[in-house]
């Protein structure tokens, strides 16, 4: 292993942390009401969860295959029909469970941070 490979890459770790919460983030956004893909991307960007269409569409497809999302086509005033995503019953239940899991994770991390701060 080279010296470069041994270095801790903060940017890479931060990116992986964001990726790990992307499904959860998308479900949170769609839970507010039916959402168009560009609206989802804009919401993620406003939250500094940077994502591109090439990342979002496979994620939406996977969530749909897992029966967490459904979509409808709606006519657009500015072009072709648009696909709007919404949560299914299973998606809402999953989101509720993810919110509880996030609370547990957040509590654990806060405890570790407090321990760190006490020791430094």
* Residue 88 belongs to some domain of the structure: yes
CB 77 within 8 A of CB 70: no
pLDDT band at 49 (very low <50, low <70, confident <90, very high): confident
* Residue 36 belongs to some domain of the structure: yes
* Residue 1 belongs to some domain of the structure: no
Whether 6 shows a pLDDT value over 80: the answer reads no
Q: State mean pLDDT over 57-72.
A: 97
pLDDT in tens, 24-36: 999 999 999 999 9
Q: State mean pLDDT over 95-119.
A: 97
Residue with tokens 């657009």: 76
Question: Domain range spanning residue 96?
Answer: 9-119
Instruction: Count structural domains, the chain.
Output: 1
* Residue 2 belongs to some domain of the structure: no
pLDDT at 77: 87
* Residue 4 belongs to some domain of the structure: no
The distance of Cα 33 from the centroid of its chain, to the nearest Å, equals 16
DSSP structure string for the chain? --HHHHS--HHHHHHHHHHHTHHHHHHHHHHTS-EEHHHHHHHHHHTT----HHHHHHHHHHHHHTTSEEEEEEEETTEEEEEEEEE-HHHHHHHHHHHHHHHHHHHHHHHHHHHHHHH-
pLDDT at 81: 93
Q: What percent of the chain has pLDDT over 90?
A: 77
Alpha-carbon gap, residue 28 to 44, rounded angstroms: 10
Please state the pTM of the whole predicted model: 0.87
**What value does the mean pLDDT of the chain take?**
93
* Residue 58 belongs to some domain of the structure: yes
């Amino acid at each position: 292993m080279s010296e470069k490979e041994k270095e801790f890459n903060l940017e890479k770790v931060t990116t992986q942390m964001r990726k790990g919460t992307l499904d959860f983030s998308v479900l949170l956004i769609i839970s507010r009401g039916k959402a168009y893909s560009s609206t989802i991307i804009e919401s993620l960007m406003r939250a500094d969860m940077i994502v591109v269409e090439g990342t979002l569409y496979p994620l939406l497809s996977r969530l749909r295959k897992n029966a967490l999302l459904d979509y409808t086509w709606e006519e657009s005033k500015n072009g072709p029909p648009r696909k709007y995503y919404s949560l299914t019953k299973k998606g809402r239940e999953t989101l509720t469970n993810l919110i509880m899991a996030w609370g547990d994770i957040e509590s654990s991390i806060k405890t570790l941070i407090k321990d760190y701060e006490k020791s430094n």
